[in-house]
Amino acid sequence: MKIEDIGEFGLIEYLKRKFSLSGKWIGIGDDCCFIPPDIVLTSDMMVEGVHFDLKYLTPEDVGCRATTACLSDLAAVGARPVGFMLSLGIKPDLDYSFFKAIFNGVAGALQEAGVRLLGGDLSRSSKLILSGFAIGRTRRPVLRSGASPGDYIYLTGYTGLAEAGRIVLKRGVSLKRYRESVKRHRRPYPQVKLGQKLKRVASSMIDVSDGLLLDLSHLAEESQVGISIHHLPIHPELIRLEQEFGIRAETLALSGGEDFELIFTSKKRLRKFWRIGEVISEEGIWFQGRRIRPRGYEHFRR
Amino acid sequence: MKIEDIGEFGLIEYLKRKFSLSGKWIGIGDDCCFIPPDIVLTSDMMVEGVHFDLKYLTPEDVGCRATTACLSDLAAVGARPVGFMLSLGIKPDLDYSFFKAIFNGVAGALQEAGVRLLGGDLSRSSKLILSGFAIGRTRRPVLRSGASPGDYIYLTGYTGLAEAGRIVLKRGVSLKRYRESVKRHRRPYPQVKLGQKLKRVASSMIDVSDGLLLDLSHLAEESQVGISIHHLPIHPELIRLEQEFGIRAETLALSGGEDFELIFTSKKRLRKFWRIGEVISEEGIWFQGRRIRPRGYEHFRR
């Protein structure tokens, strides 16, 4: 049996069983882990050729994205970010300016969130590796497991944009007409302040990193509920991409990853956010009345 | 200017200036970073072909070493380890048993130290990558910067063994005659309990990861002092290696890395540990009366 036969989520299940925690500690399987009374930790690794392509991204972009992925995990549990560390693998014959540009990207993303770089590690590596680690604080992390039937499902912003940006960059299309998409792929923004505010109303929360449907399915599984999506906001640039290249806008919005918006559930009727559906007791993910199989990004799967 | 022209320590200097911290926070440049009042964090990344060779190490060994490197950093500041996270990059077509074996190695090292695996990240990667993060607690971390002239320098155990083990494995020499060396390379042990005890007597501390001389030079630089080494314990297996293959035992003990013993300074006369020298006010590293240039492991340097 190969690793790719098990798949990323199968491997995570194995590790959850092997390294189970007791008491109020929270470990493998949520956006962050939690050490009572108030420490939250998360990590995220990006590898050249797997998570990004240096043909379409600058070193600043790459630094920004690695930082954002970690800060977004803190946002997804409603934590206040405190510090960030970056372990970097890099080719020795790259320009020093490339190295500095990565950390300019890191510094920019950290500054917006008011977070400091605390440390990390440097290593030679033939492929660029950015392995980030963030620490935050909250006494009551919002988990994936808190949703109950009847809760509304909310989304803080458009999804599919980052993936649209990647496609646009890869195809060499004129970037002017896809500004938002390209920006979202290059310099995504973590919803750190929003996550802390939503803590007051959210019964469960997760960030859009693997794709809306796949992330919703993680939330559904941890909460042991089903999800019914009625409505999905589609950004005009996705519609343009569909018209120009026949890439379905709905598919992008449902399955595109790394938008770093937040999905949360709440009993309350809120006006500020898109209400995209509701939590149901019947298991499965339903989109406009049809049961669908979540697709999105999963490592190792063939 | 290339990254290899700057060298690992030059890059660290750049990052120290760019990401300086205020107050009691401690960031880049020590074994761990410190968030007052009591949180200590560290990270360590190991890349296949750079830090280890799968020809000579099992996946259990690799998991153990990555875990030990992080726990040893916590030991070096006298912290109590609390949790560990591992981001893993791995080839999809490897056997599932290989994946499980890595985490058996991790679990073994964590169990001995009473630490839990809290989380991490999984990614595809053509080379095996283990990027570890550890969190520990202490209200008063022992830093590299606390040594003063007149302090004695102590060492908790033999150095050069791990490097001897690597050489023995690489040369295909009979392993029976180099048991300790091979064990130290394959399954190093972090001095976690000792580090916490030494906190009471140590004015400064560092673990042997880059090599005794290089690690001493880091300590000297941060403390703005010089180091004079009078005496160096040499393990019998290093002498055997010198006799058999002409590899100088003293060089191995001075420059071999990844032994994960602790070097500390103290005003006190202690009997339990090897007193190898003393802190002096004149800068530089001196070995038996001669000034020497520290050599050890530095990434990127040509």
Residue B203 has what pLDDT?
98
Please tell me whether A61 is known to bind a ligand.
no
B78-132: pLDDT as tens digits? 999 999 999 999 999 999 999 999 999 999 999 999 999 999 999 999 999 999 9
Q: Return the structure tokens found at B80.
A: 């109590």
What's the average model confidence in pLDDT over A31-41? Answer: 96
Q: What percent of chain A has pLDDT over 90?
A: 93
B119-133: pLDDT as tens digits? 999 999 999 999 999
Break chain B down into helix, strand, coil percent, rounded to 5: 40, 25, 35
Residue B174 has what pLDDT?
85
Q: Place A30 in a pLDDT band, splitting at 50, 70 and 90.
A: confident
Could you give the 3-state DSSP secondary structure of residue A156?
coil
First vs last Cα of chain B: how many Å apart? 13
B248-264: pLDDT as tens digits? 999 999 999 999 999 99
Round to whole Å and give the CA distance between A233 and A159: 8
Q: Which residues of A touch B14 (CB under 8 A)?
A: 100
B174-204: pLDDT as tens digits? 889 999 999 999 999 999 999 999 999 999 9
Contact A302 B95 (CB under 8 A): no
- Asked whether B216 and B209 are in contact (CB, 8 A), the reply is no
Q: What mean pLDDT is reported for chain B? A: 95
Nearest chain B residue to A298 by CA distance is: B123
Residue B301 has what pLDDT?
66
Contact A89 B47 (CB under 8 A): yes
Say whether the peptide bond before residue B37 is cis (omega within 30 degrees of 0): yes
B39-48: pLDDT as tens digits? 999 999 999 9
Q: Place A293 in a pLDDT band, splitting at 50, 70 and 90.
A: confident
Q: Which residues of A touch B25 (CB under 8 A)?
A: 116, 118
Closest CA to B191 of B157, B151, B234: B157
Residue A301 has what pLDDT?
66
Say whether the peptide bond before residue A59 is cis (omega within 30 degrees of 0): no
Nearest chain B residue to A103 by CA distance is: B15
- Asked whether A280 and A195 are in contact (CB, 8 A), the reply is no
What is the strand order of the sheet A204-207 is part of?
Answer: A204-207, A262-266, A152-155, A274-280, A226-229, A284-287, A290-292
> Is it the case that residue B173 has pLDDT exceeding 90?
no
Residues near B252 by beta carbon (within 8 Å), at least 6 away in sequence: B159, B160, B163, B164, B238, B241
Domain A144-292 CATH class label: alpha beta
Please tell me whether A43 is known to bind a ligand.
yes
B212-236: pLDDT as tens digits? 999 999 999 999 999 999 999 999 9
Please tell me whether A297 is known to bind a ligand.
yes
> Is it the case that residue A302 has pLDDT exceeding 60?
no
What's the average model confidence in pLDDT over B138-148? Answer: 96
- Asked whether A65 and A190 are in contact (CB, 8 A), the reply is no
Alpha helices for chain A (secondary structure H): 3-18, 59-76, 96-113, 161-171, 179-186, 192-198, 212-223, 236-245, 249-255
Which helix (H) or strand (E) segment holds residue B169: the answer is: helix B161-171
Known binding-site residues of B for Mg(2+) equal 31, 42-44, 73, 121, 207, 210
What's the average model confidence in pLDDT over B266-288? Answer: 96
Which stretches of B36-171 are assigned E, i.e. beta strand?
39-47, 80-90, 116-124, 129-137, 152-155
Could you give the 3-state DSSP secondary structure of residue A125?
coil
Exposure b/e, B129-153, CB count within 10 A at least 16 = b: bbbbbbbbbbeebbbbbbbeeebbb
Of the candidates A1, A98, A118, the beta carbon closest to that of B95 is on A1
Of the candidates A18, A33, A127, the beta carbon closest to that of B118 is on A33
- The domain A31-137 is placed in CATH, from the list 3.40.30.10, 3.40.50.12280, 3.30.1330.10, 1.10.3720.10, at 3.30.1330.10
Known binding-site residues of B for ATP equal 120-121, 144, 209
> Is it the case that residue A22 has pLDDT exceeding 60?
yes
Any idea which residue has 């501390």 for tokens? B205
Round to whole Å and give the CA distance between B235 and B244: 15
Angstroms from A56 CA to nearest CA on chain B: 20
| Residue at B107: amino acid letter | A
Closest CA to B46 of B72, B20, B28, B27: B72
Q: Place A147 in a pLDDT band, splitting at 50, 70 and 90.
A: very high
> Is it the case that residue A112 has pLDDT exceeding 90?
yes
| Residue at A256: amino acid letter | G
Residue A262 has what pLDDT?
98
Please tell me whether A95 is known to bind a ligand.
no
> Is it the case that residue B302 has pLDDT exceeding 70?
no
DSSP A153: E
Residue A213 has what pLDDT?
95
Q: What percent of chain A has pLDDT over 70?
A: 99
What's the average model confidence in pLDDT over A161-185? Answer: 94
- Asked whether B124 and A31 are in contact (CB, 8 A), the reply is no
Domain with CATH 3.30.1330.10 in chain A: 31-137
DSSP A142: P
What's the average model confidence in pLDDT over A19-26? Answer: 92
Contact B300 A6 (CB under 8 A): no
Distances (CA, A) of A98 to A46, A88, A259, B152: 17, 12, 25, 43
Domain with CATH 3.90.650.10 in chain B: 144-292
Contact A116 B14 (CB under 8 A): no
Residue B113 has what pLDDT?
94
Contact A124 B89 (CB under 8 A): no
A298 vs B140, residue with greater confidence: B140
Q: Return the structure tokens found at B156.
A: 């908790």
What's the average model confidence in pLDDT over B54-61? Answer: 96
- Among A22-26, A36-40, A261-265, the minimum mean pLDDT is found in A22-26
* Pairing assessment for the beta strands A262-266 and B290-292 based on DSSP bridges: unpaired
Residue B31 has what pLDDT?
87
Angstroms from A31 CA to nearest CA on chain B: 9
The residue length of chain A stands at 302
